A and B are shown apart, each in its own frame.
Chain A
Amino acid sequence: QKEVEQNSGPLSVPEGAIASLNCTYSDRGSQSFFWYRQYSGKSPELIMFIYSNGDKEDGRFTAQLNKASQYVSLLIRDSQPSDSATYLCAVNPLWGAGSYQLTFGKGTKLSVIP
């Protein structure tokens, strides 16, 4: 059973601070990792993807991947109230019949306090 674990939160941070969201996964075969943002009642939207160990930066967002520890994180710098949402971690294996399947974590709810 492939599992993706996230702290459900809520995680509260003050405006302008760094928000750190964490995700662990059980399947060592997982090769690509995605962070989705979901506002209440809306569909998930992709923020970042990463598949190599290390950091990947895109604007205020940085994804970090450590395959040895089976750990992926998302840092949001200069957090804004508009970042308040639920963040979903998703993983999938690269090869094989299941390579298009995404396994989602249950999400971490982030609240940015003005």
Chain B
Amino acid sequence: EAQVTQNPRYLITVTGKKLTVTCSQNMNHEYMSWYRQDPGLGLRQIYYSMNVEVTDKGDVPEGYKVSRKEKRNFPLILESPSPNQTSLYFCASRRTGLAVSYEQYFGPGTRLTVT
């Protein structure tokens, strides 16, 4: 089954304790992306990657890091989490190319609470 998986699905942590949220896709997609979703603010992009070893900042990158060492994996790293990073996080992937209709597939989400 074609899918994007995220782990963990739920996480409660404390300020300053480094954490990693994993994201993996089995569709051989080149493009992967991380979003956070907050009430009243909608989906905002954190980082994206066009391919292995190619990453770039989205709209809200502060406090986050990413890496893309393998095509299928795109982990999100919070080196020193703060309460304002409490949010619902989504990983997504899609094919690249000239066709405009390539769907962006979303993972199931990770609900993070930082106390």
Q: Which residues of A contact B (CB under 8 A)?
A: 8, 31-32, 34, 41-46, 49, 51, 88, 94, 100-102, 104-107
Tell me the bound Cα distance from A68 to B6 in angstroms: 40
A41–B42 contact, CB under 8 A? Answer: no
Using a CB-CB cutoff of 8 Å, which residues 76-115 of chain B contact chain A? 88, 90, 94, 96, 100-101, 103-104, 106-109, 111
Q: Which of B16-24, B43-51, B67-75 contacts A (4 or more CB under 8 A)?
A: B43-51
Which residues of chain B are near A101, meaning CB under 8 Å? 45, 48, 58
A102–B104 contact, CB under 8 A? Answer: yes
* Nearest Cβ on chain B to A31's Cβ, whole angstroms: 6
Tell me the bound Cα distance from A104 to B40 in angstroms: 12
Count of B residues near A, CB < 8 Å?
A: 23
**A31-B100, A42-B109, A49-B103 provided; 13 other pairs, C-beta below 8 A?**
A8-B40, A32-B100, A34-B104, A43-B90, A43-B106, A88-B43, A94-B100, A100-B48, A100-B94, A100-B96, A101-B45, A102-B45, A105-B42
* Nearest Cβ on chain B to A55's Cβ, whole angstroms: 16
Tell me the bound Cα distance from A42 to B96 in angstroms: 25
A43–B109 contact, CB under 8 A? Answer: yes
CB-based nearest A residue for B42: A106
| A-B contacts at CB below 8 angstroms, number | 47
Tell me the bound Cα distance from A106 to B43 in angstroms: 7
Interface presence of B34 (CB below 8 A)? no
CB-based nearest A residue for B30: A100
Also in contact, A44 and B101, with CB within 8 A (given A104-B42, A104-B43, A106-B40): no
CB-based nearest A residue for B88: A41
A43–B96 contact, CB under 8 A? Answer: no
Interface presence of B2 (CB below 8 A)? no
Tell me the bound Cα distance from A43 to B6 in angstroms: 11
Per-position 1/0 for B26-62, Cβ under 8 A of A: 0000010000000011111100101000000010000
